[in-house]
Amino acid sequence: MEKELICVNCPMGCRLTAVIEDNKVVSVTGNRCPRGKAYAETECIRPERILTTTVRITGGIHRVLPVISEQALPLDRIMEAMEVLRTVQVQAPVTVGDIIAADILGTGINIVASRSMDAC
């Protein structure tokens, strides 16, 4: 079976064609980088996405701090991860890359700060 996909890794948005046999991706074409191949392989089996959102912060310049998952999470668990992050509150100062929620939902993936925020 052939499946047409749009790679979501970067704004290039490559149009990929994946060939699937026995629930496995056997070939990928149309990708301009290795990320595209990896994307097609998971997208046809269990889609994954990078999660970006905000958590509450006190003592900083703003009321919220942007955060990002270090790796892609299963798309079907994104809303669950949001539920967890809704309860997280951090204190400034924070440095970009600081772990905000370790091992989210037991996936082994950390949610980290995507910017620094000084105390003020």
Partner 1 sequence: MKQVQAVIIGGGSAGLSAAVTLKKQGISDVLVIEKDEEPGGILEQCIHNGFGLQTFKEQLSGPAYAERFIKMAQEQNVKILLNTTVTKLTADRTVEYVNAEEGVVQVQAGAVILAVGCYERPRGGINITGTRPAGIYTAGQAQRYLNIDGYMVGKRVFILGSGDIGLIMARRMTLEGAKVIGVAELMPYSNGLPRNMKQCLEDFNIPLLLSHTVSKVFGKDRLERIEVVAVDENRNPIAGSEQYFDVDTLLLSVGLIPENHLADHAGIVMDPSTKGPAVDDRYMTSAEGIFACGNGLHVHDLVDFVTLQAERAAEGAAAYLKSGKRKGSALHIRNGNQISYCVPSQFYPEDPAEKLTVYFRVRTPLDRGTLVIRSGEQIIRQVKKQKLLPSVMEEAVLTAKQMAVLTDDITIEITEEG
Q: Which is nearer to partner 1, 21 or 51 (CB)?
A: 51
Question: Is the separation of the CB atoms in 64 and 110 below 8 Å?
Answer: no
Tell me if 93 contacts partner 1 by CB under 8 A. no
Among 16, 25, 28, 78, binds partner 1 (CB under 8 A): 78
DSSP string spanning 26-60?
Answer: EEEES-SSHHHHHHHHHHTTS-EE--EEEEEEESS
Q: Which is nearer to partner 1, 21 or 45 (CB)?
A: 45
Among 75, 88, 92, 105, binds partner 1 (CB under 8 A): 75
